[in-house]
Structure 1
Amino acid sequence: MSVETALSTPNRRTRTRKLRTSKLHTDKFQVTKMHNADLYQQSNNLQKRDALLCLEKHASKIKWKNSNNKIIDIGCGDGSVTNMLKKYLPDNYKLLGCDISESMVNFANNNHCNEQTSFTVLDIGGELPLRMENNFDHVFSFYALHWISDQKRVYRNIYNLLEEDGECFLIYLACSPVFDVYRILARKNKWATKLQDVEKYVSPYHDSTEPDKEIIKIMEEVGFDDIDVECKEMVFEYNDVDMLRKAVTAINPFNIPKEQYGDFLEDYMTVTSEMYRVDKANNNFNITFNYKLLIVYGHKPSNKSY
């Protein structure tokens, strides 16, 4: 079982105006890229923990309409966080979860769909369907947008999804040791070919000293106002090696052949153990991840076209 704690330290925050408001069996869990919804549901403790923390703090500040709130959750994955979001919504809503992965969307529809909630395939880094433009009062996204390198396009698409006077609330990674491990493995001859596009899967802000300012600049250029961006230092502790193995496999973005994945996972764990000086000889597994989380709010003004 993992132990999760949030680090209460001063955080970088920039704003333009006050916020208005035992060993993993890789044959059983084989996945070459992050499309195994069942495994993701079992291992996304960090994502759910952080989504819950941010919603508890900020949801009461969101400005809801009196009726018919139309909401979209970008990068819904297996739908478990989308399901958590419902607790913070007003009674009168329609909620659409979307993800680039068809298998994730199918899992979410099979497990979390009802008369107010449905799920569909959408690539937020690509072309928006015209029927979705100017169609939502609120855009949410949890742990998805760091996978997309073209951040200007992401924010332009979010802006275009919103109706006038709509709001977005987004959380995603600025930097994480996961990305450092990817880069280390990519430099090894053994994995260089398989991980040659490694930078596509590193957060655009991983090396940034001021990610909040970069995001504010993008959002202002797109047309948002009332922008609030916080870069928060976080901690998550793994004291169960199997839980970490599952978490790594669930978000693996690389096309690793099935027969090589067990070897890849072992190399990933070795690099991680060396980074954190894990005492494997005494079976003392404990890793504390320090990472930075972006918490973003923006408002689409009325009577202003992009």
Structure 2
Amino acid sequence: MNNAVLYEKSNSLQKRDAIMCLEEYASKIKWKKSNNNILDIGCGDGSVTNMLKKYIPTEYKLLGCDISEKMVNFANDHHCNEQTSFTVLDIEGDLPEGMKGNFDHVFSFYALHWVNNQERAFKNIYNLLSEDGECFTIFVAWAPVFDVYRVLARNNKWSQWVHDVDRYISPYHDSLEPEKDLKAMIDKIGFVDIDVECKELVFVYDNIHILRKALTAINPFKIPKEKYDDFMEDYMDILKELQILDKYNNNYEKSVEFNYRLLVVYARKPDSQDQMLEALNGQT
């Protein structure tokens, strides 16, 4: 999961969905006329952060952050310039004081499903935002790979490497109403103008080889190199057993449909006017 070169070559799904959601929500995001200060959480290799620039006004400072130092180093080597830089940050951890209240916009694309403590992460996002700052995130609610992780963890052949699987499964994977659960939590934190949508999506991989590379790029388990091909063969067999892949299709050049659910979140940190209105409403 920390192989930046492989991830950059295999994240076509993530790039497609980032563009799709940015296009859909573009009119909702309110940019300042100048000096927008922007944070991208879970920047990975920096390629999606780089795509974000298309939607940003001319005057801005863009900071990408990721928990992986390898990813951050790759992003700085390939996408850093006068307006864009990258740093290591754990969104579940303690925030540097200098970052609090410093951002007009916080984005995150395909990262927050890796975060177990969702409330801590969104509280940190709230604290990173300036007054009237906006949060826009997309991340996985449900995907078949999470069920594969659970099956592999029960397999004696792989259990010594595939363990603590709940750390790598979206907190909303088993939720019947993930958008309601997420919205309630965000509302409790203090965000306003909350819009949470759960999209049913399909991505078509040209063939199983390309799907396999994509799954390898996001695989969180440290499988020994000499066992990895065997691991991926079992992985693909489980996809067939779970009827995620066609059990009877042995044509490795045939396209593969990948179904999943994506959470799309827009929310805003209230400003002084919002707080005044809330106080007035509380008096009536």
TM-score relative to the length of structure 1: 0.86
Report the residue type matching 2:74 in the other structure. Answer: F
Shift of 1:280: 4.2
- Give the superposition deviation at 1:286: 3.3
Q: Which runs of 4+ in 1 moved over 6 A?
A: none
- Asked if structure 2 preserves the Cα contact closer than 8 Å seen for 1:278 and 1:287, the reply is no
Q: Secondary structure at the match of 1:174?
A: strand
Identical-residue share of aligned pairs (%): 65
1:154 aligns with 2:121: yes
CA distance in 2, matches of 1:92, 1:283: 47
| Residue 49 of structure 2 corresponds to residue 88 of structure 1 | no
Distance in 2 of aligned mates of 1:228 and 1:42: 32
Among 45, 53, 60, the alignment partner of 2:27 is 60
Matched, 1:187 2:150: no
Which AA in structure 2 matches 1:54?
C
Structure 1 position 283, deviation (Å):
4.3
- The residue number in structure 2 matching 1:293 is 262
Letter in 1 for 2:54: K
Question: In the aligned structure 2, how far is the partner of 1:220 from the partner of 1:250?
Answer: 34
Give the Cα separation in 2 of the matches to 1:85 and 1:236.
21
- TM-aligned CA deviation for residue 278 of structure 1: 4.0
Find 1:116's aligned residue among 78, 83, 88: 83
Q: Secondary structure at the match of 1:128?
A: coil
| Whole-Å separation in 2 of the counterparts to 1:283 and 1:124 | 39
Contact 1:279 1:285 in 2 (8 A): no
The answer for the alignment partner of 1:199 in structure 2 is 166
The 1-side partners of 2:9 and 2:123 are apart by 33
Normalized per residue, the structure richer in helix is 2
What code does the residue aligned with 1:291 have? Y
- Of structures 1 and 2, the one with the larger relative CO (CA 8 A, separation 6+) is 1
Instruction: Give the CA deviation at 1:287.
Output: 2.3
Q: How big is each residue's C-alpha offset from its partner over 1:98-137, in whole Å with a ceiling of 9 and x where there is no partner?
A: 1111111111111111111001111111111111110000
Q: Which residue pairs with 1:209 in the alignment?
A: 176
> Residues 283 and 142 of structure 1: is their aligned pair in 2 closer, same or farther, counting only changes over 3 Å?
closer
Aligned to 1:260, which of 214, 221, 227? 227
Tell me, which stretches of 5 or more residues in structure 2 are unaligned? 276-284
Residues 162-198 of structure 1: per-residue CA shift (max 9 Å, x gap) = 0011000000000001111111111111112222201
Q: With structure 2 as the length reference, what TM-score do the two structures score?
A: 0.92
Tell me which of 235, 244, 260 is aligned to 2:202: 235
For the Cα contact (< 8 Å) 2:208–2:256, is it kept in 1? no
Distance in 1, Cα, partners of 2:142 & 2:233: 23
